[in-house]
Structure 1
Amino acid sequence: MIEQAPVEPVPNRWQPVVRNTAYILGALLIFLFALNLMISSLQYLGKDAEDLILQTTANPFTALFIGLLLTALIQSSSATTTMAVALVASGAMPLNSAIPFIMGANVGTTITSTIISLGFITKKKEFRRAVATGTYHDFFNILTVVLLFPLEYYFGFLSAIAHYVGTTLFHEPITNSSESFSLLGWGGDSIIKFIITT
């Protein structure tokens, strides 16, 4: 009798691609769910908290420095920007106040690169490269704000673009109301209402 060699399974090239795509879509769904939860939670802010947010961010310079300080404290411009998106979507912050707030977040994130470059202070060659790269990041973000902030402050340049894009995409003017806003239109709202009310 002739023995047959065991048949090795043919590796499926598409299996890792499908698995990784499912992971990415799952992570995106969880992110959208969390963002929708944050937006819905902010809608239940009291009138006093909403007035405080409006008062503190009414001045563009104050909004810029609040965004900078918040990002410097939590070391995440993405988290600060997500907060701004949630505040605008819930109607607690107007769009024209969110723009300087996000600009401040972009300047505040430059502190992170400086802190990381200080980690190489004992290695002279690596420290030079780290400081050079961190400085590039710092100057890019700071110069972007130096160029765009006056345009926004005097002419409402970025606000006008944001309003145009929002109006074009949704075929209705952007207001401070979020009554019809839903990131998860397939029923995620009922789950979020349950979480908020419990």
Structure 2
Amino acid sequence: MAFTPQGVAKGFGLFVGVLFFLYWFLVGLALLGDGFKVIAGDSAGTLFSAVSNPVAGLMVGILATVLVQSSSTTTSIIVAAAGAGVLKVSTGIPMVFGANIGTSVTNTIVSLGFVGDKEQYRRGFAGATVHDMFNYMNVCLWLPLEAISSAINGGNGGL
């Protein structure tokens, strides 16, 4: 396969574009973290400290994702809060698991949009159910392992 100058230039341009947008994504997360520090202060730390139980953290993640209808947004908020020191990482991990389950609620709601066409609804709901089961099985496997490894580590998070 021969490399052409146009192909190399296009590949380099795509690479630079990916780096550019990755940089601005990380800048946005840093700004979100700084915003948590400014707005929340100590009050958010006391609010999140009440969620020390992994199952409660799981429920908070599910509720937050259902409310904003985006697991990516919920996960970004959790990561920014953990990066800002407002939320402990060991508390945030079950919340991220909850965000994954909250996505299951969202895709089931989307599949209901096809209720007018029986065949499309059947396919959409089947796809949503497969996605749901994948998320549920992941959480059923990883949440207990995370809780056990966190307990072994003295409550400082998992492995």
The bucket for the TM-score relative to the shorter chain is 0.7 to 0.9
Separation (CA, whole Å) in 1 of partners of 2:149 and 2:12 = 47
Q: Deviation of residue 25 (structure 1)? A: 1.7
Identity %: 36
Amino acid at match of 1:160: G
Corresponding residue for 2:56?
A: 62
Amino acid at match of 2:125: V
Q: For 1:150, what is the secondary structure of its paired residue? A: helix
Please say which of residues 14-23 and 34-43 is displaced more in the overlay: 14-23
Structure 1 residue identity aligned to 2:158: A
Question: Is the 8 Å Cα contact of residues 67 and 105 (structure 1) preserved in structure 2?
Answer: yes
Partner Cα separation in structure 1 for residue 120 and residue 10 of structure 2 = 36
User: Of the two structures, which has the highest relative contact order with CA contacts closer than 8 Å and spacing of 6 or more?
Assistant: 1
Equivalent of residue 49 in structure 1, options 30, 40, 44: 44
Structure having the higher helix fraction is 2
The runs of at least 4 consecutive aligned structure 1 residues that moved more than 6 Å come to none
Tell me if the contact between 2:147 and 2:158 (Cα under 8 Å) persists in the aligned partners: no
TM superposition score normalised by structure 2: 0.84
Coordinate RMSD, CA, aligned: 2.1
Instruction: Find the partner of 2:11 among 14, 17, 26.
Output: 17
- Equivalent position SS for 2:114: coil
Q: Give the residue type in structure 1 aligned to 2:42.
A: K
Instruction: Give the equivalent residue in structure 2 for 1:125.
Output: 119
Structure 1 unmatched runs, 5+? 1-9, 162-198
Q: 1:81 aligns with which of 75, 86, 89?
A: 75
Bigger radius of gyration, 1 or 2? 1
Q: Which runs of 5+ in 2 are unaligned?
A: none
Taking a change above 3 Å as real, the CA distance of residues 12 and 155 of structure 1, as seen in their structure-2 partners, is: closer
Q: What is the TM-score with the length of structure 1 in the denominator?
A: 0.69
Letter in 2 for 1:115: I
**How many equivalent pairs are there?**
151
Cα shift at 1:125: 1.6
Q: Partner amino acid for 1:101? A: M
